[in-house]
């Protein structure tokens, strides 16, 4: 008997709405795709040149029309596919977990595929089939359950091979026991059974290894090689077609779009895009598109800033390094060292061991502090080093100098340049208090006022002439820094302006015989090391 169709399939035909990433507004997108395991098998066989036919039911709606057109385009006979205006085409929403495994949510209560009745079967296409392929989803409920059983009996009576895909979906069954019972009914009638991991976990479906050699021998037109081909396709075709489609939509297509965008940027030498790059596909590639657009904006901004600031930054760095070197040289003051050593020698001759020990310890603390590599320290540490320096000077001046401190707790924690205060105090001793015979007073204060750190060093010593004051103020405000002279004050002024800008500064007030006051202002919003 000549058979018109190599394989006829009966079962579910539905719409798979598959996860396709997020919209520009961040909402989840689903893509409409044709689905149904029996139809996937037929599509794969048709690509290999086999004659196939599908029996089933869809709704007389836009989804049903789409499925019918898809099967016809694939070369599948659809004259046994019924469009019913009374029911809606079955829908399934498909999600993928991080491991690539699928999960299904069905809209099938009822779906059109479950409403196929036995009297609606195309008997001629069942009799004309060499193989009838069915699935267990047609056994979940009536009337399609009865239609499926009737189709199996009709095809077997006509001499067809029965191919069976258990295709277990737990959410479509009332319970596990019902699924095993109905799936076992078809297993008894099947010649070929395709099992996946989900079905192997069902112990009661009766799926031991089936090998109907006698039946094959009674079908001379059915070669062994052909049956092997059918088995292979049943196992892999559905997964292969689905996987290739998902991979292309989720990965290949977005990557092609990304490659075209890069080619345009390279060809036109663009530094920015007119619109942000939006890639479809998986969430990872969508993130790549957003990050790439943001990267172009950042590169464009940074390029402009670099072009504007590169020369200024280079000049500022040269000046900063020069000022810092001068600062270090200023701290290794031979005059201070020689005077201190001479003071230690004199006290040692007098036998004043306590003062010798104190001065030696204070000088060691100062030089160890100077040698440390830290560039920033809390103001409180600077004050402690100043106290060590003042203790040495107090010994020199034999108690003629009174020192007053007023450091607020908030100011004490502010990070400042290392060796910021000692040059100011040293200047007060050398140029102010050294010439005063008695009752010398030195005041050191620090407080936070708004967004500024204010530091004051004041003495009641010799004071400063208007000419010298004007000279120093001019050097403080000069655009080019010469720190070779007046290393203490000029160096500090240069470092402040280089690191903090014009908002910071050093100011001197005073008059001959009326003492000198040095004030420093540092903006807290622009500390060294901060943007």
Number of separate domains in the chain? 2
Instruction: Among 192, 216, 236, identify where a domain stops.
Output: 236
Task: List Cβ neighbours of 255 (8 Å cut-off, separation of 6 or more).
Answer: 285
Does residue 212 sit in the same domain as residue 353? Answer: no
Vertex 60 angle, CA 54 and 65, to 5°? 60
Q: Domain residues for 426?
A: 332-526
**pTM, rounded to two decimals:** 0.41
Helical H segments across 372-403, by residue range: 379-396
In terms of C-beta density within 10 A (0-12 exposed, 13-18 middle, 19 or more buried), how is residue 483 classed? buried
Length of the chain in terms of residues written: 531
Task: Indicate if 218 and 337 belong to the same structural domain.
Answer: no
β-partners of residue 15 are: 34, 91
In a domain, 100, yes or no: no
Residues of the chain with pLDDT under 50: 203, 206-222, 325, 328-330, 332, 483-486, 529-531
Where is the domain boundary, 236, 258, 285? Answer: 236
Domain co-membership, 231 together with 337: no
Tell me how far apart the alpha carbons of residues 13 and 488 are, in angstroms, rounded to a whole number.
89
Residue 97 included in any domain: no
- The answer to whether the Cα torsion of 361, 367, 372, 375 is positive or negative is positive
CATH, residue 122: 3.40.1190.20
Three-state SS string over 271-313 comes to CCCCCCCCCCCCHHHHHHHHHHHHHHHHHHHHHHHHHHHHHHH
Cα(11)–Cα(172) distance, rounded to whole angstroms? 14
Give the three-class secondary structure for 523.
strand
Residues 367 and 228 in one domain: no
- Provide the pairing of β-strand 452-459 with 505-510: unpaired
* 320 domain residue, yes or no: no
Co-location of 364 and 221 in the same domain: no
Final residue belonging to a domain, choices 205, 236, 267: 236
DSSP 174-199: S-HHHHHHHHHHHHTT-SEE---HHH
Question: How far apart, in whole angstroms, are the C-alpha atoms of residue 421 and residue 414?
Answer: 14
Helix (H) or strand (E) holding 190: none
pLDDT of the residue at 231: 66
The answer to whether position 511 is within a domain reads yes
We report the CATH number of the domain holding residue 510 as 3.30.565.10
Q: How confident is the model at residue 83, as a pLDDT?
A: 95
Shared domain check, 342 and 217: no
Residue 398 main-chain phi, psi, to 5 deg: 50, 45
Q: Looking at the domain assignment, is residue 76 inside a domain?
A: yes
Same domain, 520 and 404: yes
Q: Is there a domain that residue 389 lies in?
A: yes
Q: Is residue 260 part of a domain?
A: no
Residue 491 CA to residue 468 CA, distance in Å, equals 17
Q: Are residues 358 and 227 in the same domain?
A: no
Measured CA angle at 25 (ends 22, 28), to 5 deg: 30
**CA 324 to centroid of chain Cα atoms:** 40
Does residue 61 fall inside a structural domain?
Answer: yes
Sign of CA dihedral 357, 359, 361, 367: negative
Q: Would you say 163 and 132 are in contact if contact means Cβ atoms under 8 Å apart?
A: yes
């Amino acid at each position: 008997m000549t058979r018109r169709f190599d394989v006829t399939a009966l079962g579910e035909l539905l719409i798979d709405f598959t996860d396709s990433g997020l919209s520009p507004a961040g909402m989840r997108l689903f893509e409409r795709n044709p689905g149904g395991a029996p139809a996937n098998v037929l599509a794969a066989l048709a690509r290999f040149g086999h004659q196939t036919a599908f029996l089933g039911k869809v709704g007389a709606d836009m989804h049903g029309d789409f499925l019918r057109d898809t099967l016809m385009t694939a070369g599948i006979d659809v004259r046994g596919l019924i469009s019913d205006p009374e029911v809606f085409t079955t829908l399934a929403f498909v999600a993928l977990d991080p491991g690539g495994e699928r999960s299904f949510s069905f809209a099938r209560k009822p779906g059109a595929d479950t409403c196929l009745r036995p009297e609606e079967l195309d008997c001629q296409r069942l009799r004309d089939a060499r193989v009838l392929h069915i699935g267990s989803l047609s056994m979940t409920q009536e009337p399609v359950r009865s239609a499926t059983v009737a189709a199996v009996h009709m095809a077997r009576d006509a001499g067809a091979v029965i191919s069976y895909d258990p295709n277990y979906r737990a959410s479509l069954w009332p319970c596990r026991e019902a699924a095993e019972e109905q799936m076992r009914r078809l297993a008894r009638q099947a010649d070929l059974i395709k099992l996946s991991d989900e079905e192997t976990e069902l112990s009661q479906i009766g799926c031991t290894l089936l090998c109907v050699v006698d039946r094959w021998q009674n079908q001379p037109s059915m070669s062994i090689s052909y049956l092997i081909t059918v088995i292979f396709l049943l196992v892999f075709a559905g997964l292969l077609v689905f996987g290739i489609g998902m991979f292309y939509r989720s990965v290949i297509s977005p990557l092609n779009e990304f490659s075209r965008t890069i080619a345009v940027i390279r060809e036109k030498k663009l530094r920015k895009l007119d619109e942000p790059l939006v890639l479809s596909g998986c969430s990872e590639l969508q993130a790549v598109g957003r990050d790439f657009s943001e990267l172009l904006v950042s590169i464009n901004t940074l390029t402009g800033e670099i072009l504007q600031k590169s020369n200024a930054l280079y000049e500022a760095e040269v000046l900063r390094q020069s000022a810092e070197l001068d600062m270090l040289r200023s701290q290794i003051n031979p005059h201070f060292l020689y005077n201190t050593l001479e003071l230690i020698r004199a006290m040692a001759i007098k036998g004043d061991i306590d003062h010798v020990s104190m001065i030696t310890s204070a000088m060691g603390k100062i030089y160890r502090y100077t040698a440390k590599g830290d560039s920033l320290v809390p103001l409180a540490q600077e004050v402690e080093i100043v106290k060590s320096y003042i203790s040495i000077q107090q010994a020199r001046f034999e108690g003629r100098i009174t020192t007053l401190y007023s450091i607020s707790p908030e100011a004490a924690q502010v990070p400042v340049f290392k060796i910021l205060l000692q040059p100011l105090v040293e200047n007060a001793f050398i140029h102010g208090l050294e010439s005063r015979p008695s009752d010398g007073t030195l005041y050191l204060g620090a407080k936070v006022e708004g967004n500024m750190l204010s530091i004051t060093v004041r003495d009641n010593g010799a004071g400063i002439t208007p000419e010298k004051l004007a000279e120093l103020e001019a050097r403080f405000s000069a655009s080019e820094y010469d720190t070779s002279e007046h290393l203490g004050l000029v160096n500090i002024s240069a470092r402040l302006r280089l690191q903090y800008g014009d908002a910071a500064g050093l100011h001197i007030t005073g008059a001959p015989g009326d003492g000198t006051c040095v004030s420093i202002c540092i903006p807290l919003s622009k500390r060294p090391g901060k943007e």
